[in-house]
Amino acid sequence: MKLDHGLFKFDFEDHHAVLGIPITADARAVRKRYLAIARKLHPDSLSGLSEDEAQQANELLSKWVNPAYESLSQEKLSTEHQIMLKLKGQGLKRSPAPPEISSEAAKTLLKAPQVDLAYQQAVKSLAEQQYEQLAQVLEVVGQISELNMVYLYRTSDGPAASSAPAAPPPPSSAAPPPAPGKPAPAPPPRRTQATILESYINRAQEFELNRDYSRAVLEMREALKTYPNSARCHSYLANLYLKAGQATMAKVHAKRALDLSPEDEIAQSIQAKLEKSAPGSTGGSAAKGGKPPAKGKPEDKGGGFLGGLFGGKKK
């Protein structure tokens, strides 16, 4: 059994479709659903399956179900995934036509009058049969992914207001013609790239002041769609990721900012902080007298990822 990105309706892995839950599911629902699937696919529950079927179940659990749960149960990864979903929804909303779908459930949802209720019911119905037979898992995951795409299309706020063309002023507000002998007033200045970029940054800074880093990150990711080679965008986004505790993403954007502008002071500062906090650096735990773990003796965590969930050796 092989799963690939062609199964999903997004350009990234649809963790919610793999677990068979709505994209609005909270952490408690994510864990409850994961445990139910893990029990079905656990070796202790597969005594009646053939060797090939047992191998398929093991691959589903280890390569797809476990990673999906880890991504949705960890706050940082979950926040990043929700941002990606929101951006995808905005992209779908900008499209001139509805998304291409093939399943009957998604076609029904596209026209349903009460989209939230219809979406929840459709996902629940498919999830009930998703892992009952291994041969149908892929098909059901694809159908749920289509439901997720249609739901995002119908509920997205669309592109940011700043990216929409400004409406012309009403006729009543038009300036009167200049009096004879007087020069015509100068036309209002056009919005330059700098002012548009500034509007993104200003909105992000407002979210940052309220410590709403996920929405601040979303604003700057939108800005990067228009200004992908802006060192200022990358360095500010790196700073936001650092404040949100996402060091890996901060490092990526700080490096990109320095590639574009080696003198960028914000990116230099972030890179220095990340290097100082890296393991083995002078500012790390080794410098404070901490002892690294002995080679070849990884810490025993009680049987691995599933060991803590389904039991292990009791001490």
Domain map (residue ranges) of the chain: 5-155, 193-281
CA gap 122, 75 in Å, rounded: 27
Amino acid 252: pLDDT: 93
pLDDT of 309 reads 46
Supply 189's token pair: 């200045």
Give the CA count within 13 Å in the CB-facing half-sphere of 162.
18
Q: What is the pTM of this model?
A: 0.50
pLDDT of residue 7: 59
Half-sphere exposure of 183 (CA within 13 A, CB side): 3
CB neighbours of 97 closer than 8 A, spacing ≥ 6?
A: none
- Residue corresponding to tokens 């800074």: 205
Q: Residue written as tokens 């299309």?
A: 153
- Spatial distance between the Cα atoms of 15 and 117, rounded to a whole number of angstroms: 21
What is the spatial distance between Cα 104 and Cα 123, in angstroms, rounded to a whole number?
Answer: 13
Highest mean pLDDT among 47-51, 67-71, 207-211: 67-71
Q: 149, 105, 152: which is closest to 129 by C-alpha?
A: 105
Q: What is the pLDDT of residues 224-277, one digit of tens each?
A: 888 889 999 999 999 999 998 899 999 999 999 999 999 999 999 999 989 888
Cα dihedral across residues 205, 208, 210, 212: positive or negative? positive
Which class is 193-281 in CATH? mainly alpha
Kindly tell me if the per-residue pLDDT of 89 is higher than 70: yes
Q: Which of 73, 69, 49, 72 is nearest to 1 (CA)?
A: 49
37: closest CA among 310, 303, 302?
A: 310
Contact 138, 17 (CB under 8 A): no
Q: Give the whole-angstrom CA distance, residue 130 versus residue 193.
A: 49
Average pLDDT over residues 209-226: 84
For residues 60 and 173, the model is more confident at 60
Q: How far apart are CA 170 and CA 40, in angstroms?
A: 63
pLDDT at 308: 44
